[in-house]
């Protein structure tokens, strides 16, 4: 028997494989395809203080080995989440972690306070890295004094596991990781999407209505791996690795680079059963390598030269 | 409605014309009921340029032989790869997705399609006929060489044709077809699928004639199952999602 369980702060995950925010709805969308109870956790869609309609169409375009999206945090707001969605999903046999976003520090705090009271939500992920909203979002994630302020403010009102999701759209992501660690984050997750754009040469127009959008999928994996490795080497809190994970090997690479757990995003659109395949693949890898505990992979990268 | 992910074997790849082909796909499992208007998400090969699944309407279903038919137009890399598939090869589908059309109050219904937009109208025409309705098809194509399976549509109802160059049927766009100026008194419903400009013109015609109209829309999609919120369409009720709230919408609800 191999041990697949990991800890993120005080949070116990039965295995390190989770679904990324914005790519897995509220989990219900996938229950025809997989047993949600098999997952380490589900990070649900970004939730804000009040309802957001999101951005105009087109919001998505495929690019080489990836996609650009500009959904723009469309959601019905935290009160709707609590009254209508939470009762439905609280029975899942996996952790539900809410991704929290806002335009102002007050909005982040308000959402976090409300979620703090929900018994079956053991953690939140502060999204200070959404590239698709005009105000807030990434502003907090690309200006370290703001990142510190929002993390400190939320930490004051939130008692459970606080994960801060970092933006890759910065020069030094380690600086941000250290900043939010100092401000009380229990873990960091990275990376959110990379700011990008696509152009229709025929029409001489941008493809996305918002001109720019967030790049995800295998195209961003090398960047994400490098950032996870850098952050792992600069903070003590656990790191959750995200970016282009398509299979178990990708997930293992993130763990070797220093991730204690991983999130699978875009890959769910191609194979709705991918998360479970990643879990099984990690287990097979451990058995083949004669390793008994998945935690021994974390940061085990051997740098020879 | 439960959704599935299954491998299908290609039993035929029939070239319909220069641009269109029909894939016949046989499943190991008994096919679930598939409603007109519903679509499948086809996994091409997940290569660098055909990374995401491609949404394709269900053209027809043969429940006895357990075969699903897709009518596809080659427009880019993904559809080109699909057009080259051979019998025996495997294709992975997530299905059945999306909503369906509603039944008309009266007997006669007009199904207006443009180009590959005729695809969902096959299953729709067949269903209407099974419900003892009288479907009439009005199709627009660029030229006679692109006309699709008229004999098959003819089993369910009369087919009228318009072509841009007049090489078959009447010359001009569907909304200028003489049929719309004559025999329309007893039409109780209009269904449309095709290029957006055509559907808008059809919807306008229907509204002017006080006939309800349903349009089957296309948007870029990633997941096809309501998880990513990429397939946004503005409606009078706010943002809707084409993959779950659609692809079929009442034209009066659309802000387009
Ligand atoms: C619900 C739904 C049902 C559909 N049913 C059918 C069908 O029955 N038969 C069929 O042939 N096609 C159908 N389509 C369109 C089909 O999905 C696209 O043509 C296909 O994804 C293009 O893939 P590609 O790799 O060949 O082209 P790409 O390389 O992705 O694109 C080539 C060109 O096609 C355009 N294109 C890409 N996706 C779409 C799209 N969704 N709609 C319109 N243009 C697009 C691009 O803008 C580009 O100009 C449907 C689309 C939707 C959303
Ligand atoms: C359609 C879409 C919507 C997303 N929405 C959110 C969101 O609401 N909040 C968030 O923190 N990240 C969001 N993300 C980012 C993902 O959670 C993830 O960080 C990113 O896609 C990289 O991982 P991947 O390559 O596995 O998809 C979204 C990504 C996509 C593709
Ligand atoms: S395509 Fe993902 S929600 Fe419609």
B116-175, pLDDT tens digit by residue? 999 999 999 999 999 999 999 999 999 999 999 999 999 999 999 999 999 999 999 999
Dihedral pair phi/psi, residue A162, rounded to 5°: -110, 115
Residues B183 and B197 in one domain: yes
Contact B225 A30 (CB under 8 A): yes
Phi, psi of A285 (to 5 degrees): -60, -45
User: Average pLDDT over chain B, rounded to whole?
Assistant: 95
Whole-number Å distance between alpha carbons of B137 and B135: 7
Residue B246, min C-alpha distance to chain A (Å): 15
CATH number of the structural domain spanning residue B252: 2.10.240.10
List Cα–Cα distances, A220 to A167, A244, A263, B49, B144, in angstroms: 13, 6, 14, 15, 46
B195 lies in the same domain as B240: no
The residue nearest atom 8 of ligand 2, judged by CA position, is: A46
Break chain A into its structural domains and give their ranges. Answer: 6-297
Instruction: Report the mean per-residue pLDDT for chain A.
Output: 95
Percent of chain A surpassing pLDDT 70: 97
Does residue A134 have a pLDDT over 70? no
Q: Which pLDDT belongs to residue B100?
A: 98
| Residue B20 within any structural domain of the chain | yes
B80 domain residue, yes or no: yes
Q: What is the CATH number of the domain that holds B21?
A: 2.40.30.10
What is the percentage of chain A residues whose pLDDT exceeds 90? Answer: 92
Number of domains in chain B: 3
Nearest to B194 by CA among B141, B157, B150: B141
Query: Which residues of A belong to the active site?
Result: 130
Residues B123, B23 share a domain:
no
B210 & B232 share domain: no
pLDDT in tens, A46-104: 999 999 999 999 999 999 999 999 998 899 999 999 999 999 999 999 999 999 999 89
Is B103 among the domain residues? no
Task: Please check the confidence at residue A138 and state whether its pLDDT lies above 70.
Answer: no
Distances (CA, A) of B127 to A262, B106, B113, B154: 46, 15, 16, 14
Establish if B22 belongs to a structural domain.
yes
Coil/strand/helix, residue B197: helix
Domain C-terminal end among B97, B130, B152:
B97
Could you read off the pLDDT of A246-294 as tens digits, one per residue? 999 999 999 999 999 999 999 999 999 999 999 999 999 999 999 999 9
Quote the ligand 1 centre to B55 CA distance (angstroms).
7
Interface of A with B in 145-174 (CB under 8 A): none
pLDDT at A135 over 70: no
B209 plus B112 within the same structural domain: yes
CA distance A85 to A82: 6
Please give the Cα distance from A106 to B123 (Å, whole number): 53
Is pLDDT of B69 > 90? yes
Same domain, B231 and B160: no
Has residue B129 been placed in a domain? yes
Q: Are B254 and B179 in a shared domain?
A: no
Q: Do both B116 and B150 map to the same domain? A: yes
Does the pLDDT at position A136 exceed 60? no
* B138 within a domain of the structure (yes/no): yes
Q: Rounded to the nearest 5°, which phi and psi values hold at B173?
A: -85, 160
Average pLDDT over residues B64-69: 96
CB contact under 8 A, A64 and B227: no
Print the domain residue range for B82: 4-97
**A272 interaction partners in chain B (CB closer than 8 Å):** 5, 94, 223, 225
Q: Report the b/e string of A178-213 with b at 16+ CB within 10 A.
A: bbbbebbbbbbbbbbbbbbbbeeeeeeebbbebeeb
What does DSSP assign to residue B219? -
Which residue's C-alpha comes closest to atom 4 of ligand 2?
A22
Contact by Cβ (8 Å): B203, B192: yes
Q: A137 pLDDT band (50/70/90 cuts)?
A: low
The β-bridge partners of B136 are B110, B158
Same domain, B255 and B185: no
Domain assignment present for B102: no
Tokens 């195209």 identify what position? A219
3-class DSSP state of A269: helix
Contact flag B52-A71 (C-beta cutoff 8 Å): no
Provide the CATH topology of domain A6-297. TIM Barrel (3.20.20)
How much is the pLDDT for A22?
97
Considering chain B, what percentage of its residues have pLDDT values greater than 90? 95
- Indicate if B82 and B116 belong to the same structural domain: no
- Ligand 3 center–CA A103 separation, angstroms: 25
Domain identity same for B211 and B229: no
Predicted local distance difference test score (pLDDT) of residue A141: 85
Going by the DSSP 8-state scheme, the letter that residue B116 receives in this structure is G
Residues B150 and B208 in one domain: yes
C-alpha torsion angle, residues A166, A169, A172, A177 (rounded to 10): -10
Q: What is the CATH number of the domain that holds B148?
A: 3.40.50.80
């Amino acid at each position: 028997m191999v041990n697949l369980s990991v800890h993120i702060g005080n949070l116990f995950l039965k295995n390190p494989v989770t679904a990324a925010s914005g790519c897995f709805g509220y989990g219900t969308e996938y229950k025809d395809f997989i047993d949600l109870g098999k997952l380490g956790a589900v990070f649900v869609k970004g939730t804000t203080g009040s309802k957001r309609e999101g951005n105009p169409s087109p919001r998505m375009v495929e690019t080489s080995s990836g996609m650009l999206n500009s959904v723009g945090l469309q959601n019905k707001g935290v009160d709707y989440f609590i009254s209508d969605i939470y009762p439905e999903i609280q029975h899942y046999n996996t952790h539900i972690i809410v991704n929290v976003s806002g335009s102002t520090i007050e909005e982040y705090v308000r959402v976090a306070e409300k979620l703090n009271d929900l018994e079956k939500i053991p953690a939140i992920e502060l999204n200070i890295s959404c590239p698709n909203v005009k105000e807030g979002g990434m502003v907090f994630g690309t200006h370290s004094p703001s990142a510190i302020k929002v993390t400190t403010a939320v930490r004051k009102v939130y008692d459970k596991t606080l994960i801060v999701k970092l933006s890759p759209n910065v020069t030094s992501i380690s600086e941000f990781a250290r900043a939010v660690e100092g401000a009380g984050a229990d873990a960091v997750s990275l990376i959110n999407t990379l700011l990008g754009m696509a152009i229709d040469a025929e029409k001489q127009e941008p493809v996305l209505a918002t001109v720019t959008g967030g790049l995800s999928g295998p195209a961003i994996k090398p960047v994400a791996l490098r950032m996870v490795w850098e952050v792992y080497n600069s903070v003590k809190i656990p790191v959750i690795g995200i970016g282009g994970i398509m299979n178990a090997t990708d997930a293992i690479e993130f763990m070797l680079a220093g991730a204690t757990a991983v999130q699978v995003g875009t890959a769910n659109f191609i194979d709705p059963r991918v998360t479970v395949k990643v879990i099984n693949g990690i287990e097979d890898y451990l058995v083949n390598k004669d390793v008994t505990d998945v935690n021994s992979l974390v940061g085990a990268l051997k740098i020879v030269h | 409605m439960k959704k599935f992910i299954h491998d299908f074997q290609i039993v035929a790849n029939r070239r319909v014309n220069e641009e269109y082909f029909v894939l016949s796909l046989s499943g190991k499992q008994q096919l679930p009921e598939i409603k007109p208007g519903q679509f499948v998400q086809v996994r091409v090969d997940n290569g660098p340029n055909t990374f995401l699944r491609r949404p394709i309407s269900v053209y027809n279903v043969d429940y006895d032989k357990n075969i699903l038919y897709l009518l596809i137009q080659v427009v880019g890399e993904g559809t080109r790869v699909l057009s080259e598939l051979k019998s025996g090869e495997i294709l992975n589908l997530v299905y059945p997705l999306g909503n369906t059309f509603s039944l008309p109050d009266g007997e006669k219904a007009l199904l207006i399609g443009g180009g590959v937009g005729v695809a969902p109208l096959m299953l729709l025409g067949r269903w209407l006929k099974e419900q003892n309705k009288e479907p009439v098809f009005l199709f627009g194509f660029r030229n006679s060489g692109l006309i699709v399976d008229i004999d098959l549509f003819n089993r369910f109802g009369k087919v009228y044709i318009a072509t841009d160059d007049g090489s078959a049927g009447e010359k001009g766009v569907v909304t200028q077809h003489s049929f719309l100026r004559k025999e329309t008194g007893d039409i109780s419903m209009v269904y449309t699928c095709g290029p957006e400009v055509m559907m808008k013109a059809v919807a306008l015609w229907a509204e002017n004639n006080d006939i309800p109209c349903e349009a089957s829309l296309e948007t870029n999609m990633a997941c096809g199952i309501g998880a990513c919120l990429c397939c946004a369409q503005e409606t009078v009720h706010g943002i809707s999602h084409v993959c779950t709230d659609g692809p079929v919408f009442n034209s009066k609800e659309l802000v387009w």
